[in-house]
Structure 1
Amino acid sequence: MPRQLLTDTHWEKLKTIMLSFSIYDKPGLRQTVEGIFYRLRVGCPWRDLPVAFGKWNAVYKRFNAWSLQEKLRGIFQALVIEPDLEWLFIDGSIIKAHQHSSGGAHENPTAIGKSVAGNTTKIHMAVDAGGLPIQFSITGGEVHDCKEAPEFVA
C-alpha cells in the first residue's frame, strides 16, 4: 500500500469542504483523493497509479471532471483561511508542455504559450508570510509575472 497523505482529521475536514462543492461521498472517495494526491506528489503517469487507489482511469476521470467544473479551484480557495498578509510573495514557475499538447480542436482555451523552449505553461502563485499558498493563476509560458501580480495584490 502506498503512503497516504491525509490523516483522519484532515480527511474529515476536507470531506466537509468537498461535500459543500457537490462532490458526493461515495465509498471510494478517500482513495480517489489519495490517488490524485499521490499522482501529483510523485509525478507518475496516470496509468502507473498503484492499484490500491482504485482503477487509474476512474481516478483520472474524477480529477478531470472536478478540474473542468472548477471544483478543485473552489476547494483550494476554501482551504485558504486567515492568511498572514504582512508579506505577500509572488513567483512563477514555467512548465514545459508536451509537444502534442496544443493544437487540438476544442472550445476550451488552453494556458499553453509559445516561448524559446517551445510549448510552455506558467503557474503564478502568491503565498502569505508563512509560505502558504493563497492564490494562483495558470497562463501561457510567455506571460511575465508582473502581468499577473496586480490580480494577487488587489
Structure 2
Amino acid sequence: MTSYIIYFGFTTARTVLNDDQWNRVKDILPGIASDSGTTAANNRLFVEAVLWIARTGAPWRDLPEQFGSWHNVYNRYSRWCSKGIWEKAFKALSSDSDMEYLMVDGSIVRVHQHGAPEKGALSI
C-alpha cells in the first residue's frame, strides 16, 4: 500500500525506495509468506516509515498515522536492529549506490590545521 499525494493535479507516490531498490531487499526481510510465524502485513510500508524517521530526524511519536502506530513501528525496528536485518538490507542496497542523497555539510567537514592559512598572511 503506497500513499499518494496530489500536486497540482498530478498524483505521485510518496516513497523513498523505488521499485528496483524494493525488489532487491524484499526477500531479505522477515515476515514473508515462506517464513514461520506471522506474515507481515506490509513490509514496504514499515520500511518507508523507518526511512521517514531517518530522513526527517523526528521523534518516533511524530510518525504520521498513515504508517501505523508509532510504538509498533518502533518495536519492530528495534527487533530488526538486534537481529541484524537492517545491516543485510543496507548491504544489498549499497552494492549499487547512486549517491542520490549524498550530502556534505560545511558545519561538520573542517579544513585540517595544516591546510588553513597562517595567521597574518595576506588575504585576497
* TM-score band, normalised by shorter chain: 0.5 to 0.7
Unaligned runs of 5+ in 2: 6-13, 33-39, 101-124
1:52 is aligned, of 53, 66, 75, to 66
Alignment length (residue pairs): 82
Report the TM-score, using the length of structure 1 for normalisation. Answer: 0.46
Provide Cα deviations, 1:47-82, integer angstroms capped at 9, x if missing partner. Answer: 100011111111101111111112211222233327
1:6 aligns with 2:6: no
SS at match of 2:66: helix
- Which residue is 1:74 aligned to? 88
- Which residue is 1:36 aligned to? 50
Unaligned runs of 5+ in 1: 84-129, 133-154
SS at match of 2:28: helix
- Which residue is 2:31 aligned to? 24
Contact conserved, 2:60 with 2:71, CA < 8 A, in 1? yes
SS at match of 2:41: coil
More strand by share: 1
Separation (CA, whole Å) in 1 of partners of 2:76 and 2:17: 18
Report the TM-score, using the length of structure 2 for normalisation. Answer: 0.56
Distance apart, 1:34 and its partner CA: 0.5
When Rg is computed on C-alpha atoms for both structures, the one with the higher figure is 2
Separation (CA, whole Å) in 2 of partners of 1:51 and 1:41: 17
State the structure with bigger RCO (CA 8 A, min sep 6), 1 or 2.
2
Provide Cα deviations, 1:117-145, integer angstroms capped at 9, x if missing partner. Answer: xxxxxxxxxxxxx869xxxxxxxxxxxxx
- Pair 1:58–1:81, CA change in 2 (3 A): same
Distance apart, 1:45 and its partner CA: 0.5
1:15 is aligned, of 16, 19, 26, to 26
